[in-house]
């Protein structure tokens, strides 16, 4: 993972943004040698947010499949199907 100073990032903003999108790797932006911000492609951000929300489901099943599996009885399943329309 590449890191760059705030000063260098500010002076070459478009270049770094294009590189992050092209390489699909995050860029750490440092201030006085301390990581301050991470610039990452939007798709990677979405993946990160999904995995943090559904982290307990990672690699097993989707949220709807999990929800359907934990339903207690047929009556409850029918009510949910009716609500989803």
Domain ranges, ordered by start, for the chain: 1-53, 60-85
Tokens of 14: 């478009």
Was domain 1-53 assigned CATH 3.40.1620.10?
yes
Q: Could you tell me if 10 and 29 are in contact, meaning their C-beta atoms sit under 8 angstroms apart? A: no
The per-residue pLDDT of the chain, averaged, comes to: 81
Residue 21, pLDDT above cutoff 80: yes
* Integer CA distances (angstroms), 79 to 63, 65, 75, in order: 18, 16, 6
Q: Angle 18-1-31 (CA atoms, 0-180°, nearest 5)?
A: 85
Q: Could you tell me if 30 and 6 are in contact, meaning their C-beta atoms sit under 8 angstroms apart? A: yes
Q: With cut-offs at 50, 70 and 90, classify the pLDDT of residue 13.
A: very high
């Amino acid at each position: 993972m590449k890191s760059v100073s705030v000063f260098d990032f500010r002076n070459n903003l478009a270049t770094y943004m294009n590189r992050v999108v092209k390489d699909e790797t995050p860029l750490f932006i440092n201030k006085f040698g301390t990581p301050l911000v991470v610039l990452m492609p939007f798709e990677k951000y979405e993946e990160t947010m999904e995995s943090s929300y559904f982290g307990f489901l990672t690699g097993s099943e989707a949220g709807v499949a999990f929800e359907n599996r934990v339903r207690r009885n047929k009556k409850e399943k029918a009510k949910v199907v009716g609500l989803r329309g």
